[in-house]
Amino acid sequence: FCSQAPIRATLFPGDGIGPEIAESVKEVFREAEVPIEWEEHYVSKEIDPRTQSFLTWESLESVRQNGVGLKGPMATPIGKGHRSLNLTLRKELNLYANVRPCYSLPGYKTRYDNVDLITIRENTEGEYSGLEHQVVRGVVESLKIITRQASLRVAEYAFHYAKTHGRERVSAIHKANIMQKTDGLFLKCCREVAEKYPEITYEEVVIDNCCMMLVKNPALFDVLVMPNLYGDIISDLCAGLIGGLGLTPSCNIGEGGIALAEAVHGSAPDIAGKNLANPTALLLSAVTMLRHLKLNDKADRIHDAIINTISEGKYRTADLGGTSTTTEFTKAICDHL
Ligand code: NAD
């Protein structure tokens, strides 16, 4: 890229607090003169028959064409006859890995000061395959699907990530002592990929032990890779270690190099429209998007402005114990740029 040529990126402001925190990202990007041209897409009020969801085909095409995007939280309307919005994005764009950097924010005190880990979650199969049925009355069955192809793909991503980000260790999280076939295959694939990366230390940790180790001493971990459901749980546990969902960014990686960054929290209907939301998670997700685009100078500048604002402590939103509104906090970040 020429760093000054505008790059088109898709933006889904999303629902609830989504538009408020998306506005914050747009403002900070404007102030930092980030060469991004947003292509905004909204969740439709009608089901698009081509996607069977409230997400339109055009929105998906926009991400496919731009290759990068930022997504606010989406509340899936309750009802029948449509697919979950997040599931539609994951399936249609083949977003196979969910990457969550999780590190202690300097100046924001939590139980630990030394968290610096990355969770990488397989995003397409496992218990999330959506294959559940009733066998007979009173007995239901859910299928956990693990394939060699998806396991190799996410393991490869995890090791490549470790290598290219100066990380030293990859831990595969599993329960293969009980789920011998499914988690067993997942581990076998991780071992195969580990052999190609002798410079990265590889270890296997049983999920229950992993939870205990994480809450006792999160510094024991570096990069963690795991099947879908374990990733769902462990990544939230890790968010809790550094101060909660309002601070945690994530990025979904898809086939063909697509990167769709998103905050991990939901649409927070309890505070929506009140100018109270903390935009940090979406802003830090936007920073991961900039790093994906190799706009590292801009990413560093925005990242440091966020960290400095929080650590200064003068402007913080209510979830971090402060009294600032979303707009006041955003303005403070702009002033720190
Ligand atoms: P939630 O994350 O929206 O809210 C949980 C609590 O955290 C609430 O008290 C909320 O006020 C607070 N919170 C969340 N984000 C915050 C922020 N940025 N700043 C300050 N406080 C924040 O979870 P929920 O209530 O279980 O879900 C609400 C809706 O969001 C549901 O419709 C759910 O389906 C959807 N959801 C979407 C995603 C996504 O799009 N990735 C993820 C989770 C939930």
Q: Is 173 close to ligand 1, i.e. is its CB under 6 Å away?
A: no
- With beta carbons less than 8 A apart as the criterion, state whether 253 and 124 touch: no
Q: Is 15 close to ligand 1, i.e. is its CB under 6 Å away?
A: no
pTM summary value: 0.91
Report the mean per-residue pLDDT for the chain.
93
- With beta carbons less than 8 A apart as the criterion, state whether 243 and 105 touch: yes
> Averaged over 97-120, what is the pLDDT?
91
Q: CA 189 to CA 7: how far, in whole Å?
A: 36
Among residues 64, 58, 29, the alpha carbon closest in space to that of 43 is found at 58
Q: Using the predicted structure, report yes or no on whether residue 34 has a pLDDT greater than 60.
A: yes
Q: Using the predicted structure, report yes or no on whether residue 2 has a pLDDT greater than 80.
A: no
**Model pLDDT for residues 176-231, shown as the tens digit of each residue:** 999 999 999 999 999 999 999 999 999 999 999 999 999 999 999 999 999 999 99
Whole-number Å distance, alpha carbon 169 to ligand 1 midpoint, is: 32
Whole-number pLDDT of residue 158: 98
> Averaged over 301-326, what is the pLDDT?
95
Q: Is 73 close to ligand 1, i.e. is its CB under 6 Å away?
A: yes
Q: Is 319 close to ligand 1, i.e. is its CB under 6 Å away?
A: yes
**Model pLDDT for residues 230-261, shown as the tens digit of each residue:** 999 999 999 999 988 888 899 999 988 899 99
Q: Which atom of ligand 1 is nearest to the CA of 263?
A: 41
Asked if the interface predicted TM-score (ipTM) of this complex is over 0.90, the answer is yes
Whose CA is closest to atom 30 on ligand 1? 266
Q: Is 99 close to ligand 1, i.e. is its CB under 6 Å away?
A: no
Reported confidence tier of residue 310, pLDDT bands at 50, 70, 90: very high
State the CB neighbour count (10 A cutoff) for residue 51.
Answer: 21
Whole-number pLDDT of residue 275: 98
Whole-number pLDDT of residue 325: 98
- Residue 264: C-alpha distances to residues 18, 106, 235, 268 (Å): 12, 20, 9, 11
Q: Is 266 close to ligand 1, i.e. is its CB under 6 Å away?
A: yes
Whole-number Å distance, alpha carbon 282 to ligand 1 midpoint, is: 12
- Scanning the structure block, which residue is given the tokens 């898809």? 254
Q: Is 252 close to ligand 1, i.e. is its CB under 6 Å away?
A: no
- Residue 215: C-alpha distances to residues 46, 132, 169, 205, 282 (Å): 44, 32, 19, 14, 25
Q: How many residues does the chain have?
A: 337
**Model pLDDT for residues 38-85, shown as the tens digit of each residue:** 999 998 778 888 888 888 999 999 999 999 999 999 987 676 567 788
Q: CA 224 to CA 211: how far, in whole Å?
A: 12
Q: CA 76 to CA 250: how far, in whole Å?
A: 19
User: Structure tokens of 337?
Assistant: 């740029």
Among residues 207, 224, 95, 211, the alpha carbon closest in space to that of 159 is found at 224
> Averaged over 103-119, what is the pLDDT?
89
**Model pLDDT for residues 151-185, shown as the tens digit of each residue:** 999 999 999 999 999 999 999 999 999 999 999 99
Whole-number pLDDT of residue 90: 87
Q: Which atom of ligand 1 is nearest to the CA of 278?
A: 19
Whole-number pLDDT of residue 91: 85
Whole-number pLDDT of residue 80: 59
Among residues 88, 12, 95, 106, the alpha carbon closest in space to that of 47 is found at 88
Q: CA 11 to CA 22: how far, in whole Å?
A: 8
User: Structure tokens of 289?
Assistant: 């998007």
Helix intervals (H) in 165-227? 182-195, 207-216
Q: CA 71 to CA 260: how far, in whole Å?
A: 7
Q: Using the predicted structure, report yes or no on whether residue 1 has a pLDDT greater than 90.
A: no
Whole-number pLDDT of residue 109: 84
Whole-number pLDDT of residue 197: 98
Whose CA is closest to atom 7 on ligand 1? 268
**Model pLDDT for residues 286-303, shown as the tens digit of each residue:** 999 999 999 999 999 999
Whole-number pLDDT of residue 37: 97
Residue 98, C-beta contacts closer than 8 angstroms, at least 6 positions apart: 120, 121, 123, 231, 235, 250, 251, 252, 253
Q: Using the predicted structure, report yes or no on whether residue 130 has a pLDDT greater than 80.
A: no
Whole-number Å distance, alpha carbon 268 to ligand 1 midpoint, is: 4
Label residues 125-164 b or e (16+ Cβ within 10 Å = b).
bbbbeeeeeeeeeeeeeeebbbbeebbbbbbbbbbebbbe
Strands 139-142 and 132-136: antiparallel
- Residue 202: C-alpha distances to residues 162, 167, 198 (Å): 11, 11, 9
Q: Is 84 close to ligand 1, i.e. is its CB under 6 Å away?
A: no
> Averaged over 318-332, what is the pLDDT?
96
Q: CA 51 to CA 233: how far, in whole Å?
A: 28
- Residue 235: C-alpha distances to residues 21, 80, 128, 217, 232 (Å): 22, 29, 16, 15, 6
